[in-house]
Amino acid sequence: MQKKKKFNLSGPIAFVIAVLVLVVFVPLNLIFSRHDKVYDMTPAGKYTLADKTVQLLDETSDKQIDIYYLAKLSYLRDSRAPYFLSLYHTLDALSKRDNITLTCFTPNSDPATCSELDPTGSLGTDDGDIFVKCGSVIKRIDGSKLFQKDSNGFQAYAGEEQIASAIKVCTSGSLPTIYFLTGHGENSINDRYSTYANLLKAKNYDVQELDLTQADAVPANASIIYLAGPQKDLTNPETKLLSDFLDNGGSMSFLIAPCETEGRFSNIEYLLEKFGISMDYNIVSETKSTFQLRNRDGEQSEKYFYVEYPQIASSAENVTQVDLTSELNVLVNDGKYTNGISNTRSFSLLPETAIQNSASLERNAIVVNLSDENGDYSTISHAMGGDDITAATAEGKLNKTGLAFGYYSFNKVNDSKVIALGSTDIIDNDMITDSVMATETLALFSNTWLYDSDVEAGIGNKENAYDTLAFSDKKQAESVLGLIIIVPAAIAVIGVLVWLKRRHA
């Protein structure tokens, strides 16, 4: 009997399936691409707005918000680095809000808009930066802050937190404001302190001058108050206002350079003593030539000299909450800044028995003089200003000994904070030199501690999730890896052998 001929339908069937795939899935892909529908399966929700962001946007929906991304938006989507997609979806979601306008451009392509965003040139407009604007308030987000390394060194997405924080600040009506006191012979932020004021503005602070003799209270929006280079003491009413400001958790930066005075700055001393700091009436010189630095004329000067920035270590006895010098010391050690100071007075700590609230204070030196290899000091203190008592101290016990030219103090009960530095050369256009750039940087860094201009939105960085396997020993690792690799490989080999045997069946 003749056997029936078998027909191999694998070819036609495969062709039909291929056609069906093209007919069904290609149109579906075009539809989904058109609608740009995203299903966010990431554990951190990197491609969708967090609930706190949505809540913030709902609360500010009545305010016009302009967001400027200083790059092409298409770059984020088309980039080979997939982590850029998180920023793309954040900006895309924001742009769909009725009260938010998103504008994307490169700085070189639209210098006019850059000038509108940064009319004084103090903020900077670099590729990848983001500007958030609401009314007259503008906040810049440095592009380098949008993606940050997590504790394991992996890339984490910080853009949503940064943008939400900027929206929160701008819609509040004003940036955190730093006030420079006037009326005591200080230089102006519009003149000799202008460069430093612009550096503060670049850190997203508003910077203004304040004459407290013409005010009934410290402005409610005051984040930090500077007393920089006074030539005479505060008045009693000013002192009362500043004392109340500090008692209510305020922050002040005292930059008290040496000057000739008629008597002591009793009211300034009173404010510093609340934080356990005593001001010396002197000007310090360095006698050791190898510790001296060059002045503005390029000449070696005893008034310009090297200093150290102590790194405060935590211990069981000293649990410190403040670290203002670690990052600075890295920059100094890398050769980016010279660790010097010039034309400075010194400060001392009051004994704890002389401080009413000593238990609530944390205070430490942040700038000190150098000692030689034998531990000896070579600085000389000369009396300047003050009275007979302070002159005797300056000419006596402050010579050739360890001195501090800067302190921080922190009241842990009311959260008030103080920085005291003995020089204004570090912020004075007419006096600053490369020799003192590290101390100027310290003054800048201290502002973030006194009052951080980056208000937290509570979203945090969105980190990638990585699966890991932990083994107790090498034997266990080899066993598990054997199961993962060898078993699937064996199954694959068996499958191939079966296929080879039955492929003509």
In this structure, is residue 28 part of a structural domain? no
Within a domain: residue 191?
A: yes
Quote the number of domains for the chain: 2
Classify residue 42: in a domain, yes or no: no
Q: Which CATH number fits the domain that encloses residue 57?
A: 3.40.30
117-131, 133-147, 157-171, 303-317: least confidently modelled range: 303-317
The answer to whether residues 143 and 181 belong to one domain is no
Question: What is the per-residue pLDDT across 162-199, written as a single tens digit (0 to 9) for each?
Answer: 999 999 989 988 889 999 999 999 999 999 999 999 99
Q: Determine the average pLDDT of the residues in 104-117.
A: 92
pLDDT in tens, 364-400: 999 999 999 999 999 999 999 999 999 999 999 999 9
Q: What is the DSSP code (8-state) at residue 492?
A: H
403 and 275 within one domain: yes
361 pLDDT band (50/70/90 cuts)? very high
477 versus 215: which is more confidently predicted?
A: 215
How sure is the predictor about 47, in pLDDT bands with cuts at 50, 70 and 90?
A: confident
Lowest mean pLDDT among 141-155, 316-330, 435-449: 316-330
Q: Say yes or no: 147 and 287 in one domain.
A: no
User: CA-CA distances (angstroms) from residue 422 to 81, 276, 281, 390, 396?
Assistant: 48, 16, 10, 16, 19
The sign of the CA dihedral 120, 121, 127, 129 is: negative
The whole-number pLDDT of residue 340 equals 97
Q: Say if residue 186 is in the same domain as residue 158.
A: no
Residue 468 falls inside a structural domain: no
Residue 91's domain comprises: 51-173
Residue 476 falls inside a structural domain:
no
Q: Which of 210-219, 292-301, 350-359 has the highest mean pLDDT?
A: 292-301
Tell me whether residue 423 is in a domain. yes
pLDDT for 481-494, tens place per residue?
A: 677 777 777 777 77
Residues 165 and 266 reside in one and the same domain:
no
- For 8, phi then psi, to 5°, come to -90, 105
Are 375 and 247 contained in the same domain?
yes
The chain-wide mean pLDDT, for the chain, equals 87
Do residues 154 and 463 make contact, with C-beta atoms less than 8 angstroms apart? Answer: yes
Confidence at residue 418, expressed as pLDDT on a 0 to 100 scale:
97
The reply to whether 289 falls in a domain is yes
Q: 5 pLDDT exceeds 60? A: no
* CATH at 231: 3.40.50
Please report whether residue 433 resides in a domain: yes
Residue 146 sits in the same domain as residue 197: no
For residue 261, what pLDDT is reported?
Answer: 86
Question: What pLDDT is stored for residue 239 in this prediction?
Answer: 97
- Answer whether residue 314 shows pLDDT above 60: no
Please give the full DSSP string across 309-325, using - where no structure is assigned: ---PPP-SS------SS
- The rounded distance, in Å, linking the Cα atoms of 98 and 266 is 57
Residues 209 and 255 in one domain: yes
User: Cα torsion for 481, 482, 484, 490, to the nearest 10°?
Assistant: 160
Any idea which of 100-114, 135-149, 262-276, 426-440 has the lowest mean pLDDT? 135-149
The answer to whether the beta carbons of residues 71 and 141 sit under 8 Å apart is: no
- The answer to whether 442 touches 367, Cβ cutoff 8 Å, is yes
Looking at the structure, do residues 140 and 216 belong to the same domain, yes or no? no
**pLDDT for position 358:** 78
- Of the three residues 138, 154, 173, the one that is the final residue of a domain is 173
The tokens describing 328, both together, are 């600075």
- HSE (CB half, 13 Å, CA atoms) of 293? 20
Q: Which residue has the higher pLDDT, 458 or 325?
A: 325
Residues 165 and 212 in one domain: no
Q: How many CB atoms lie within 10 A of CB 106?
A: 14
Q: What integer pLDDT is reported at residue 465 of this predicted model?
A: 60
Last residue of a domain, one of 173, 208, 227: 173
Strand 206-210 to strand 177-181: parallel, antiparallel, or no bridges (unpaired)? parallel
CA distance 315 to 260: 41
In the chain, count H helices and then E strands.
Answer: 13, 21
- Say yes or no to pLDDT of 133 above 80: yes
Domain-ending residue, one of 128, 144, 173 = 173
Mean pLDDT of 222-231: 96
Please state which of the ranges 68-72, 116-120, 230-234, 241-245 shows the lowest mean pLDDT: 116-120
Place of tokens 């490989």: 489
Which of 436, 272, 442, 451 lies closest to 363, judged by CA? 272
In this structure, are 103 and 240 located in the same domain? no
* Overall pTM surpassing 0.75 (yes/no): yes
Q: Domain check: are 266 and 383 in the same one?
A: yes
Please enumerate in sequence order all residues whose Cβ is within 8 A of that of 171, keeping only pairs 6 or more positions apart, or say none: 60, 63, 65, 134
Q: What is the pLDDT of residue 505?
A: 59
CB contact at 8 A, 458 and 442: no
pLDDT of 211 > 90? The answer is yes
